[in-house]
Amino acid sequence: MKKNDITLIAIIVVIVMIFFVFYAFQKETGSTLVVTVDGEFYQEYSLHENQTITIEDEDGHKNVFEIKDGVATMIEASCPDKLCISQRPISFNHETIVCLPNKVVLTVENAKTSEVDMISQ
């Protein structure tokens, strides 16, 4: 291999690494918080509206989460390990907070948009 071949390979590697870093760390902010309990859809909340929500089932399992300034945080749980409370706040698309003992999952998603627009209707 000649000097120019090594230079060309090095440039290609650097370009590929730049694209990888750019796309790997690009995160999209979500707009809604989807809550599921025991694998079933429970409720959907806007991340743009500050609120505190309590989920309590018939067995007495309780989770309280807060949406504030576009970020969702689990602030209280009746589970024994309380790992869901120590999970970091979520705001980016596809991030989750999971409370396994209570079977509660919070997932950030983008608002569902209709595939049909006014012209095609």
Residue 78 predicted with pLDDT over 50: yes
Q: pLDDT tier at 24 (50, 70, 90 boundaries)?
A: low
Yes or no: say if 45 and 33 are a contact pair by the CB < 8 Å rule. yes
Q: pLDDT tier at 114 (50, 70, 90 boundaries)?
A: very low
Q: Sketch the domain layout of the chain as residue ranges.
A: 32-109
Architecture of domain 32-109: Sandwich (2.60)
For residues 18-40, give the mean pLDDT. 84
Question: How far, rounded to the nearest angstrom, does the alpha carbon of residue 36 sit from its chain's CA centroid?
Answer: 13
CA dihedral 15, 21, 22, 27 (to 10 degrees): 170
